[in-house]
Every structure is written in structure tokens, then in C-alpha cells.
């Protein structure tokens, strides 16, 4: 019995030493937000325009003995009793970054380039009912990805084994700044559509920032496996930082459909945000004409909110 006690104490001491060698830091942050919305012309259900949401995020990391570092981010959704999303990143220095994510973007691959247009708040397609956003994202539950820089260009790849379609999602993205204020980017994704069908999506564009103003243009093409279902989207937007607290933006996009029976969908939106310490106010107004290609199928959405960061 004495020998067993000694063995147990020795094992415990060893585990404590190993733990301290890899000690890191953990921080907690969160937001609380109250919103008032109106519009949603296509959403005929009677809903309360007032809503409250909150989120709590945990982040931490530490450095390994070989000079590499590991960081972890975990976030919760409003009302959720379990962690809803997470991201773990192994930073290998000049060798790049390797990430594994669950319901959270790692900043790698196609998902990092879905919509790069400047905005002071909501995107022009956000919170609309029944409209085609003209964008797509690969599966982000159990996605593995890698990113690095080469000759001034940032590139990344992402892969996900999509169990829902018995296929896989693969993507690659790249961006490059040839001069101060200018960034050009592009991304390609092959999305599993089931039954060995693959949807091929591409996006490319550029943004330019000068004296507080940012303008951008982006073109996205969704080549879908189903006949007559392709979509092309052109999105332009501009934002302006009036001062260090106030920003405004305006954007508009057109979604073109391959099907001859559909009409181009026209979206536009205005957004503004004002920050005062840990408190921020935001407002947005979006509208969509011919949503999903149906002529006269119009929708609007307006939102005002106040948020507190802690």
C-alpha cells in the first residue's frame, strides 16, 4: 500500500510539472445587444420587433517549447447552454498556420472571401427574407485549413468532409496588396452537392482605402450542378469614417440568374455606426427588388440597435 501511495504521488507531481510547462492565458469577453427591426415585407408572420441578444467568447493560448504557439477561441450563441462554435489554431511561424474549426470561420479558404465589401454595419443582403444572396460558404463544421504568405501574397486552403452529401468541400483563397491602400483578392470553392455532383464557385474583387474612405467591387459566380440554376452577383460598396467614432456606408448588388424565367434581383443598403467607449449604436436599411428572381417580389428590412461590450 505504501508503494502504491508513493507511485500515486509521483504520478501527480509529474502531471503538475507537465501542466505548468504548457501554461497559457485565457480571457473572456462578451456583448449584449438590444435591437428594433421593421420591414421584412415578405415575412408575413407577426413578430415582436424588439429583441435582445448576447454572446460570450473565451480565448486563450500559449507558446510551445519549439517556439510554435496554440490559440483557441470558443463562442456561445444567445440562449445556448453549450459551446456553439470554436476554432483552434497552431501558429508555426514562417511555416504558416494550421486550424481546425467548428461552426466558426478560420479566416482561411473561400469563407474568408464571401463578401469583402466595406460596410459600417449590415451587408446589403443581411436579414432579408426569401432573397438570393448570390454567395455561398463551404461547410465549417470540422473544417481543417492552412494559411501562409509568399512573396507578399496571403494564400490559404480549406477542406471539409461533408457527411451530409457523402462528399467533400474544398477551397482556396488568395489576396495581395500591390500598393498602399489597394487589395485584390480571389477564391475558388468546390462544394459537394450530393450524388457525386459538384458545385463550383468563384469570387474575385478589390478594395481601395484612402483618407478614411474605402471603396470596393466584387464579382461572384455560382456554377451549380442543377440545370439552369447558375447565379452571378456583382456587388459594389463604399464606406467612410467620418471620425474615429462615426462610420457610414452604402452598397448595392445585382444577382443575375441563368434561368430565363427569372428577373435580376437588385439589392441596396445603407448602414451607420457610432462608438462611444464600450457602447455602440448602429442602424441599417436594406431593400431587395425581385427577390430570388421573382418580378415584383420586393422586401425591406430596417434595424436600429445598441450594443455593450464587456
Report the pLDDT value the prediction gives residue 6, as an integer from 0 to 100.
42
Complete domains list, the chain, with CATH: 107-139+153-309 (2.40.160.10)
Residues in Cβ contact with 118 at an 8 Å cutoff, skipping those fewer than 6 apart: 207, 214, 215, 216, 237, 238, 239, 249, 251
Helices (H), 192-273: none
CA distances from 246 to 44, 120, 121, 243, 272 (A): 34, 9, 11, 5, 7
Report the pLDDT value the prediction gives residue 76, as an integer from 0 to 100.
84
Cell of 149: 504568405
Q: What is the pLDDT along the chain (310 residues), one digit of tens a residue?
A: 444 444 444 444 444 444 444 556 789 999 999 999 886 666 555 578 898 888 889 999 999 889 999 999 988 876 554 557 888 999 999 999 999 998 777 789 998 999 999 999 888 887 776 677 777 767 777 899 999 999 999 999 999 987 666 678 899 999 999 999 999 999 999 988 765 667 899 999 999 999 999 999 999 999 988 889 899 999 999 999 999 999 999 999 999 999 999 999 999 999 999 999 999 999 999 999 998 899 988 888 899 999 999 8
Contact 135, 115 (CB under 8 A): yes
d(CA 170, CA 63): 30
Q: Which residue(s) pair with 169 in the sheet? A: 160
pTM reported for the whole predicted model:
0.82
Report the pLDDT value the prediction gives residue 25, as an integer from 0 to 100.
79
In whole angstroms, what separates CA 133 from the centre of its chain?
Answer: 14
CA distances from 178 to 16, 175, 181, 205 (A): 50, 10, 9, 14
Report the pLDDT value the prediction gives residue 134, as an integer from 0 to 100.
77
Amino acid at each position: 500500500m505504501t508503494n502504491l501511495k508513493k507511485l500515486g504521488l509521483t504520478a501527480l507531481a509529474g502531471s503538475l510539472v507537465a501542466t505548468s510547462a504548457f501554461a497559457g492565458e485565457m480571457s473572456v469577453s462578451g456583448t449584449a445587444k438590444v435591437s428594433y427591426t421593421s420591414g421584412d415585407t415578405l415575412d408575413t408572420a407577426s413578430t415582436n420587433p424588439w429583441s435582445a441578444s448576447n454572446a460570450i467568447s473565451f480565448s486563450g493560448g500559449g507558446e510551445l517549447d519549439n517556439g510554435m504557439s496554440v490559440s483557441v477561441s470558443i463562442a456561445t450563441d444567445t440562449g445556448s447552454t453549450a459551446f456553439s462554435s470554436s476554432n483552434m489554431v497552431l501558429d508555426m511561424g514562417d511555416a504558416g498556420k494550421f486550424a481546425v474549426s467548428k461552426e466558426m470561420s478560420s479566416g482561411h479558404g473561400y469563407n474568408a472571401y464571401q463578401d469583402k465589401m466595406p460596410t459600417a454595419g449590415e451587408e446589403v443582403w443581411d436579414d432579408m427574407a426569401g432573397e438570393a444572396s448570390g454567395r455561398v460558404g463551404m461547410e465549417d463544421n470540422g473544417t481543417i485549413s492552412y494559411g501562409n504568405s509568399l512573396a507578399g501574397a496571403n494564400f490559404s486552403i480549406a477542406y471539409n468532409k461533408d457527411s451530409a452529401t457523402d462528399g467533400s468541400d474544398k477551397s482556396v483563397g488568395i489576396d495581395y496588396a500591390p500598393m498602399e491602400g489597394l487589395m485584390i483578392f480571389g477564391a475558388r470553392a468546390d462544394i459537394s452537392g450530393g450524388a457525386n455532383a459538384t458545385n463550383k464557385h468563384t469570387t474575385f474583387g478589390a478594395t481601395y482605402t484612402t483618407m478614411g474612405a474605402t471603396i470596393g467591387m466584387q464579382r461572384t459566380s455560382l456554377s451549380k450542378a442543377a440545370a439552369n440554376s447558375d447565379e452571378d452577383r456583382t456587388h459594389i460598396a463604399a464606406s467612410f469614417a467620418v471620425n474615429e467614432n462615426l462610420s457610414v456606408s452604402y452598397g448595392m448588388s445585382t444577382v443575375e440568374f441563368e434561368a430565363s424565367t427569372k428577373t435580376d434581383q437588385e439589392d441596396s443598403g445603407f448602414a451607420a455606426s457610432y462608438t462611444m467607449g464600450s457602447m455602440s449604436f448602429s442602424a441599417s436599411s436594406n431593400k431587395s427588388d425581385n427577390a430570388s428572381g421573382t418580378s415584383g417580389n420586393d422586401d425591406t428590412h430596417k434595424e436600429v440597435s445598441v450594443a455593450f461590450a464587456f
